[in-house]
Amino acid sequence: MLVIRLFRTGKKHQPFFKIVVTDKKNPPKGGRFKEQLGFYNPLTKERSLKAERIKYWLSVGAKVSDTVHNLLVKEGIIKGEKIPVHKKPKKKSASAAAAGGKEEKKPAEKAEEKSEEMSKEMVKPEKTAEKAG
């Protein structure tokens, strides 16, 4: 299956992406791709896309990665809504916060029980020593 995705090039801490058509099985850093369709520089927000070739590959059946899809929507090459790429953190509800409060108490209770057990163990050997002597 063909996919249109980003191919990272550039130096360390200076990302630069080629937009390429490749087989889904090829690794993103593999370097083997069918055709270069443009580039994207996230530092300067510079981008260049070959709209006609992108439309051709989409008509052939190539899928688009989420980030490239958002770039194409922003450029107006394809129509649709952007896809949220980053996951949003879950908000704690009142019931979850209450359950979380109970969980914090349990380890403290366990620590108290352990300290009581240790103090009992310390007392026991003294009693046995007294009985033996």
**Has residue 7 been placed in a domain?**
yes
Q: Is residue 124 part of a domain?
A: no
Does 21 map to a domain?
yes
Q: For 13-112, where are the E strands, in sequence order?
A: 16-23, 35-41, 46-49, 63-64
- Nearest Cα neighbor of 31 from 18, 43, 49, 40 is 18
Q: Is pLDDT above 70 for 84?
A: yes
Burial 39-78 (b: 16+ CB within 10 A, else e): bbeeeeeeeebeeeebeebbeeebebbebbbbbbbeeebe
Q: Which helix (H) or strand (E) holds 5?
A: strand 2-9
| CATH number of the domain within which 6 lies | 3.30.1320.10
Residue 10 included in any domain: yes
**Cα 48 to Cα 117: distance, rounded to the nearest angstrom:** 70
Query: Is residue 4 within a helix (H) or strand (E), and if so which, with residue range?
Result: strand 2-9
- Distance (Å, whole) CA 71 – CA 49: 9
Report the pLDDT value the prediction gives residue 20, as an integer from 0 to 100: 94
Q: What are phi and psi of 75, to 5 degrees?
A: -80, -20
Q: Is residue 56 part of a domain?
A: yes
Domain-located, residue 84: no
Higher pLDDT, 1 or 126: 1
Residue 69 lies in a domain: yes
Question: Residue 19 sits in which domain range?
Answer: 2-75
The tally of domains found in the chain comes to 1
All residues at 6 or more sequence positions from 8 whose CB lies less than 8 Å from its CB, including other chains: 15, 16, 17, 28, 29
Q: What is the pLDDT of residues 108-121, one digit of tens each?
A: 666 666 666 666 66
Phi (first) and psi of residue 36, to 5 degrees = -90, 125
Q: Is residue 119 part of a domain?
A: no
* pLDDT tens digits along 41-70: 999 999 999 999 999 999 999 999 999 999
